[in-house]
Amino acid sequence: MTDLATLYDTDYAQWAQRNAELLRERRFEELDIAHLLEELSDMSKSDRRELHSRLLVLLAHLLKWEFQYPLLADRWREFDGRSWRSTIVEQREQLADLLRQSSGLQSAVDEAIADAYPVAVRLAHKETRLPKTTFPEVCPYSREQVFDDDFYPEAQ
């Protein structure tokens, strides 16, 4: 095991700094390639997990807005969906920020929406106690609508 590989296990910050120095100096043969590849792979996985997680929450709240909000607003005049709106706004902001920082994720958005949607339906079903059949089988929102700050679905 090289000194850098050992450093990876004992002082990650110093390991990262040393690898950066070696890259700047173009001393490629001294790099800890195995751990660098592992870290780069994990970074991509982490960004994709965050994309999926934030889309899941956003889609679940859009579903609740569309299918439960009208029911609650009719029953309780004081219910205005403020907390749901806050969550929708927050998730859209966080997603926009994530996509600005990791623009390579843009190509994964459509697939991530499709993957997150069934989980969002399960979450909306559990939180609202509405039958699963209440919600469309396929995501009813376009990519543009999901990210549009002014889009809030209307009751069916």
* 3-class DSSP assignment, residue 86: helix
Arithmetic mean of pLDDT, 32-39: 88
Q: For residue 9, is it within any domain? A: no
Q: For residue 14, is it within any domain? A: no
State how many domains the chain has: 1
Over the stretch 53-76, which tens digit does the pLDDT of each residue have?
999 999 999 999 899 876 666 666
Q: For residue 40, is it within any domain? A: no
The predicted model scores a pTM of: 0.75
**Chain-centroid distance, C-alpha 84:** 17
Q: For residue 74, is it within any domain? A: yes
Over the stretch 98-141, which tens digit does the pLDDT of each residue have?
999 988 889 999 999 999 999 999 999 999 999 999 999 999 99
Q: Which domain holds residue 58?
A: 46-147
Please give the structure tokens belonging to residue 150: 């002014």
H helices within 27-76, ranges in order?
33-67, 69-75
Q: For residue 140, is it within any domain? A: yes
Q: Please tell me the distance from the alpha carbon of residue 149 to that of residue 107, in angstroms, as a whole number.
A: 21
Q: For residue 118, is it within any domain? A: yes
Q: Please tell me the distance from the alpha carbon of residue 66 to that of residue 130, in angstroms, as a whole number.
A: 12
Q: For residue 39, is it within any domain? A: no
Q: For residue 15, is it within any domain? A: no
Residue 32 in contact with residue 2, Cβ under 8 Å?
A: yes
Lowest mean pLDDT among 40-54, 69-83, 85-99, 109-123: 69-83
